[in-house]
Structure 1
Amino acid sequence: MDRTEELIRRSQDGDKAARETLIEENLGLIHHVVKRFLGRGVEAEDLFQIGAVGLVKAVDRFDLSFGVRFSTYAVPMIAGEIKRFLRDDSMIKVSRSLKELAVKAARLREQLLMERGEEPGVDELARRLKVEPEELVQAMDSSIEVESLQKVICQGSSEGVSLMERVEQGHDEQEELLRRMLLEELLSSLEPRERRLIVLRFFYDRTQTQVAMELGMSQVQVSRLEKKILSALKEKM
């Protein structure tokens, strides 16, 4: 039994000192998760405090029989706590400046696409809009993420159902937790560029051409790399 497992066992047996030590030694996990949620109208310090609640829950609920590392279990718990806070307080939103930038970029992209018949690159769009490429990518990603949560995915005889509503209606905490743990484990095994490609393609529903534009690659290169990544992930599942 390693040090972390021993601390977990002692903590769950009522050892307050072990519990505090375990929490202190894993605060880095909160910092890691908080980075994903910056720029959404909530201060990093506030997100950290909410994430700490998730970490404490992970410490109290972790079962050594899960057969996974504590960090693998704790990260989705921390992220889930922050997501619930943002959702429940209606704070999943993009700052006005980022939203305006995303709109300008979309209009410029359409204009250049019509004029030249080919997708403009992120660097060119950023240069024309006089912003850093990183800022432009953040604006585009944030805009798509918020839109996708509210997008109507099921039209019925009355009102449509948004993706967020569908997820909440069919929510199963245990099953969701296991999916998150597996997903976190698989994505963490990828290189940064590979991870971004998969996220853009299958979480944001970007086309290979759009992904190529954002990653500075050709569509053919994206297609080949995507097949390679999916094949590797399939072997790990």
Structure 2
Amino acid sequence: MTTKVTEDIQAIWIEFKKDSRNQPLRNKLMVHYFPLVRFNADRVWAKLPDGVDLNDLISAGVFGLMDAIEAFDMERGVKFETYCVPRIRGAMLDELRTMDWVPRLVRSKASKLEAARKVLQARHGRPPTDPELAEQMELSAEEFDKLKNEANAVNLVSLNKKWYETDSYKDVREVDVIEDLKGEDPTLGIQKRDVMKLVTKGLNRNERLIIILYYYEELTMKEIGQTLGLSESRVSQMHSSIVARLKEQLRRRRPEFA
């Protein structure tokens, strides 16, 4: 049965590439590969805080799938599933970027790092080294490495972005040159999200943000205060109160986890 389905899809691909304006054929391909969109949307969504609509990711992924179908070159010898997944995820990341979901303080770290880089570049006439950047920002090597990793995490890049032009009709894009060096177990993301929901249930917006930014984003009390427009002492006071309440809630619910 699987072989028959594969042969049918291959036949549809051949006919579609003969006439890429044939929408019925394109729609058949869209329906066949849609589960890839849903699977990747679930994976991305599982790692995000509340407030992001899964359907928005799916919609963005559908456009990524459509683009992949239009651009896919059968003669390259690459499986379409391998080719389209980065484009689907890239479209989802583009959607997240337009939604501006990255915490402001996390983004501000990237801005501070870039500002220090520009100062040293102008001073030395060359790209600065990490030790030079750490000294400029008055950070230890360990603190700088942490900040650098967090700053790099906010740089969402569209995998559909043009990498360079070629003499042929087909441009080379990010998705064609980037290498996926790791794969994540979606179960861990789901578990992390479930724990986040359990811990933050019943908290108001500021209390929930304090917990997420402190324990998940690993920001300092001062940075959280700047994000929420509160003093560092107020954030610390709220954090202590929240932790005390959570301990009491978990104590009462301990038999559920026995």
TM-score, normalising length from structure 2?
0.43
**Larger Cα Rg: Structure 1 or Structure 2?**
2
TM-score, normalising length from structure 1?
0.46
